[in-house]
Amino acid sequence: MNAEIIDQDEEGIGVVVTNNEGVKHTIAVGFDGEIQGHSQEGYPDNPAERTPNESEHVAQAREYARHHVYKETEYNPFPAEKNLPGIKRVRTAIQDLPKERFCELFEDAYQQVDGKDPLPTDLPAPLPSEVGPNDWVAFLIDVYLDGTTVEAVSDIHFRYDYTDNTPSEQWNDDPFPDRKADARLQLTFDHVPSLEGFREYLDYHLRCQLRDCYIMAGLEPPEEYKILGEGLEKIIGRYVHPEITIYDQYHKHHAPISGYELDYDYGMGEYGKIITQLESLTAEDEEIRTAIDRYRDTGENKDELIDLFEERGFDNPKQKINELIGAV
């Protein structure tokens, strides 16, 4: 990906982007990040006529144009959910908070994330009535900075029930409804060891968000963001879309992606990483879950298990099985 600014007027900035396929895009980016115009000759102009991969390449060009405008001008053209510089500043600000202030700001978020078991019935923010005990739901929390410190956070908002690729949302109180958040936490139910441990968990989550910001712009993330886990909530659907083949599944804790690893241990050291990867691996794969259970019970299907891990893309299946469930 590369780009150059070719024009600027009172409404925005013109950028020419050459994407990873060598296609040139001329994109008009408003000072607030709104895409005011986009022309290119590599893909159909009608979005309905593009393949899913072609649509991603068009979307990447737009994201890269925003990145270039941010890099080369004084404007911040990113929306709250993909606010690259804001996410970086929020990450630092959270780490620098005194303990009492961190607890004051993020205790409700911690209790919400860690509140599923045994049933999510006693949460700081009650779930929308449409969300059942086992339904997927995301918790969105806007974070606002005053200089280099966290000034305020919003109440917990909800996103759930993707019907026809459009989610339902419930927006609750926000201290600055007319101001763009510096970052938006996008969390789900999870097991976090303690409130103080939640600080490290948020840092991990924000690094996953930063990874996604780069990937969605067609860029390789910096090394510190080459980690596995859930970042930008709306991006996960693109990682798992069966017809979008240009992305790996970076959100999965066990994904066999060269150069990427799960580096958050849930306060349990290497054992925490092993348990998390094993849960991720077996959550949606009944065949491999059954094979692991059988091997644990009988030890008789070693070759089958190795073959299954190899089919899932693990370059060294024996080593991965040894890490997760013991020697084979």
Cα 222 to Cα 255: distance, rounded to the nearest angstrom? 18
- Same domain for 61 and 152? no
Three-point CA angle 315, 316, 320, nearest 5°: 115
258 lies in some domain: no
Largest alpha-carbon pair distance within the chain?
Answer: 72
301 lies in some domain: yes
Q: Examine the pLDDT at 119 and tell me if it is beyond 90.
A: no
Neighbours of 204 (CB within 10 A): 19
pTM recorded for the entire structure: 0.92
Mean pLDDT value across residues 222-233: 97
- Same domain for 131 and 207? yes
Cross-strand bridge partners of residue 158: 139, 170
- Determine the structural domain holding residue 280 and report its residue range: 269-325
- Same domain for 107 and 167? yes
CA end-to-end span of the chain: 44
- The phi-psi region of residue 218 (left if phi > 0; otherwise alpha if psi is between -120 and 50; otherwise beta) is left
Mean pLDDT value across residues 109-128: 84
Residue in this structure with the two tokens 């409404």, named with its chain if needed? 11
- Same domain for 100 and 230? yes
Mean pLDDT value across residues 104-121: 85
- Same domain for 236 and 89? yes
Per-residue confidence (pLDDT) for residue 117, from 0 to 100: 66
Task: Please say which residue of 57, 77, 97 terminates a domain.
Answer: 77
Task: Please say which residue of 23, 44, 77 terminates a domain.
Answer: 77
DSSP tag of 126: P
Query: For all residues of the chain together, what is the average pLDDT?
Result: 93
Cα 320 to Cα 307: distance, rounded to the nearest angstrom? 12
Task: Please say which residue of 43, 77, 111 terminates a domain.
Answer: 77
Mean pLDDT value across residues 220-226: 98
92, 148 in Cβ contact below 8 A?
yes
What's the total number of domains in the chain?
3
- Same domain for 162 and 213? yes
DSSP tag of 41: S
- Same domain for 165 and 213? yes
251 lies in some domain: no
Cross-strand bridge partners of residue 159: 138, 169
